[in-house]
Structures are given as C-alpha cells and as structure tokens.
A and B are shown apart, each in its own frame.
Chain A
C-alpha cells in the first residue's frame, strides 16, 4: 500500500537524519530518487523550494513527495512518518531529562553541551551569512569585490535594530524581504 510505503520511507529519513538540516539530504535522495518517486531534477527543485519556504527541509520534502505520489493523503502519511521517530525519541529524552536533571553527572554533561550548542548555532549562522553576502557556501571563495552590498546593508541594519531595540525577529525577516523586493529590481543585473 502506497501510504504505508511513504510512511516507512520517511520514517527512515526521520530516524537517521542526525544533525538536522542538510544532513538529511542524502537520506532523502536515497529514499525518493532511488525508489523512482522523483526524478533528480524534481529533487533539486524541492531543495530550491525548501530554500524559499519556511520549515525543515525534511518536512518540505516529505510533503512534496507525498503530494506527487498519492495526493494529500500521501503527504500526510509521509510527513507523519518523518516526525514519528522525533516524537518517540525526543519525548523519551525529555522525560529522562526532567526526571534526572538534578544529578551532578547530567549537570556536568549539560555544562559541556551549552557552549557547544552556541557554537553549532554560530557555525550555521556563519554559513547563512556567507550565503547571503556572497552567494557561495565556503569561506575561501569570497572576495571583497564580490560582496552583495545590498544584502550586507540589510544584514547590518537588521542586526543593529535587533541589538538596539529588541524587536521581534519576525519583523526583521519580513522587513528584510520587503527591502529585497524594493531594491533588487532596480539594480543593474
């Protein structure tokens, strides 16, 4: 049955994609392209669309593939499969965490994890910043003459407003989108 197949495929994607974000890509590709549900072009299209729409890429991919293969029911089955492992494992971890978080060993582990989490988010942030300012994804490929100054300006203003006025980040993102819409069309290509 196609719904069960979709559920099972994306259950595996959810179960084995540690590290979030793009770590899930090769898994999704294996499940979706190798099984013949999508062509490689359609798969690349999902990536582009995922960049443009909110939400985790694994959820975007499972919804998209489900829709293509078996309509809205397929989308629901694939998405459910994708989040099921998270549900089970995270609930278990959360339960254990709140039951035992007074233990000094757990506190010790967390004292090592807190600075690490900051760095992991920082590393993702640098990746996005470089993508926004240079359109590339490596630190080594950038040069000062290739900077997208409009993006740099939007970034600077956004960061200043956030630090200074503590506004809701959602307004910064919306504002940045509106600025992009108002400025980019008037630049020479």
Chain B
C-alpha cells in the first residue's frame, strides 16, 4: 500500500469514526474494524484480523487502542500506528472533557438513559453478528482442536472469569504443541516412507 498523506488521512478518519461509536467496551470496536478494513476497504483479510486481535489481547492496555495501533502499523508503519491511535483516543477524550463540566446533569438525564438502553441492545446485536462471522471463519479450518479450544475458552472466560492473559497464553501453548507434534509425525511418516 502506498504511504501517501491520503492514506494516513483515511486511517485517521476511519479510526476516529469507529471510536466515536464503540459504546459498551473494547470488543465492540472489533466488528466495526472488521466491517471497515476487511469488508469495505479489503485492506486486511479475515484471518489476519483475528491474528491482530490476538496480538492486541496479549498486550496490556485498552483493546480498542491496541487493535488500532496494530492495524495502523500494518497499513502505514509507525506513523500509521500513531495516526490511528490518535483517531481512536480523540473522540472519548473530547467527549469526556466536555461532559466533565456537567456530568451530573448528563448522568441523570432521562433522554440519555433511554437512548443508552436501546443502544445496548444494538451493541449486543453487532457483537453477536461478528461472533457468528468469526466462528464460521474458524470452522472453515475443519480442525477438531479449534472447536475444542473455542468451546473450552468460552467456558473458562465466561463462567469462571479467568483472566484473559491466561486464556491467551494457554491457547497459544496448545497451538504450538499441536504444531510440533504434527511436524514430528510428518517427518516420521516421510522417513518411514523411504
């Protein structure tokens, strides 16, 4: 991709608008980014997007910020990362800076509350839609191990509230062990065939 000012501007505008709509926690930005960068622009493919989210997860800090840094880096190097991070941080920064002057009135406002209640349901729909899409993508690998990881990770993350870092580390270890075993087996099969 050509690193022109136009590209950086596009990265900034994209992350800025996405960030302005990430109500309800960091994961909401994932489906939004997926829609924008995978489906609309075609800059990143579905699998790489999952890899990026995994990397964003393995670092400390807000997932939305981390994900935007890595996408920016992928599209436009270190400058791209800075631009997309700025785009992600600015909307909440400006909004909270303004609200901090009259936050009590805002918090107790009935109209704001009804809009938020509706939006919560909308956010849930967006996430469920994204999860279906990503699960279908993983299922395409037709690997039993992937199904097991998906199931086990959900159980420990949702019901047992296990820290995400441990889930990430454990699943990466399982993936590495499975690869080592497979490669050993392939090697043995090749040597046996000679």
Chain A residues with a Cβ under 8 A of chain B: 14-24, 45, 48-49, 51-60, 63-64, 67-68, 72, 75-76, 79, 82-83, 85-87, 89-91, 93-95, 97-98, 101, 104-105, 107-129, 131-133, 139, 148, 150-152, 154-159, 162-163, 166, 168-170, 172-181, 183-185
**Which one of A55, A76, A170, A180 has the greatest number of beta carbons of chain B within 10 Å?**
A55
> Would you give the shortest CB distance from B21 to chain A, in whole angstroms?
5
Q: Is the CB of A117 within 8 A of B118?
A: no
Which chain A residues lie closer than 8 Å to B123 at the CB level? 128, 132, 173, 176
Among the listed A121, A157, A173, which residue makes an inter-chain contact with B30, where contact means beta carbons less than 8 Å apart?
Answer: A121
Contacts beyond the supplied A20-B26, A54-B91, A151-B121: 16 A-B pairs with Cβ under 8 Å: A14-B62, A52-B23, A53-B99, A54-B19, A54-B92, A60-B92, A75-B96, A94-B74, A110-B175, A120-B157, A124-B27, A169-B32, A169-B129, A173-B123, A177-B116, A181-B118
> Would you give the shortest CB distance from A27 to chain B, in whole angstroms?
10
Closest to B180 in A: A108
Q: Is the CB of A123 within 8 A of B158?
A: yes
> Would you give the shortest CB distance from A89 to chain B, in whole angstroms?
4
7 of the cross-chain contacts (CB-CB < 8 Å) are: A45-B107, A56-B25, A93-B70, A118-B138, A132-B124, A155-B125, A173-B122
Q: Is the CB of A52 within 8 A of B124?
A: no
Among the listed A59, A90, A108, A151, which residue makes an inter-chain contact with B117, where contact means beta carbons less than 8 Å apart?
Answer: A151
Which chain B residues lie closer than 8 Å to A119 at the CB level? 149-151, 153-154, 157, 167
Among the listed A24, A53, A123, which residue makes an inter-chain contact with B92, where contact means beta carbons less than 8 Å apart?
Answer: A53
Which chain B residues lie closer than 8 Å to A109 at the CB level? 172-173, 175-176
Which chain B residues lie closer than 8 Å to A163 at the CB level? 129, 132
Q: In the complex the two chains form, what is the Cα distance from A110 to B178 in whole Å? A: 11
> Would you give the shortest CB distance from B142 to chain A, in whole angstroms?
12
Contact of B85 with A by CB under 8 A: yes
> Would you give the shortest CB distance from A172 to chain B, in whole angstroms?
5
| Contact A162 B95, CB 8 Å, known A23-B163, A179-B118 | no
Contact of B7 with A by CB under 8 A: no
| Contact A155 B104, CB 8 Å, known A18-B165, A79-B93, A115-B150 | no
The 7 closest A-B pairs by CB, nearest first: A180-B118, A112-B175, A55-B92, A176-B122, A108-B179, A158-B125, A56-B62
| Contact A90 B122, CB 8 Å, known A115-B171, A116-B149, A170-B17 | no
Contact of B115 with A by CB under 8 A: yes
Which chain B residues lie closer than 8 Å to A56 at the CB level? 22, 25-26, 62-65, 92
| Contact A120 B138, CB 8 Å, known A67-B97, A172-B125, A180-B114 | no
Contact of B4 with A by CB under 8 A: no
| Contact A18 B51, CB 8 Å, known A52-B106, A54-B19, A107-B179 | no
Q: Is the CB of A118 within 8 A of B100?
A: no
Q: In the complex the two chains form, what is the Cα distance from A53 to B51 in whole Å? A: 28
Q: Is the CB of B61 within 8 A of A184?
A: no
Q: Is the CB of B127 within 8 A of A54?
A: no
> Would you give the shortest CB distance from A71 to chain B, in whole angstroms?
9
Q: In the complex the two chains form, what is the Cα distance from A175 to B30 in whole Å? A: 19
> Would you give the shortest CB distance from B170 to chain A, in whole angstroms?
8
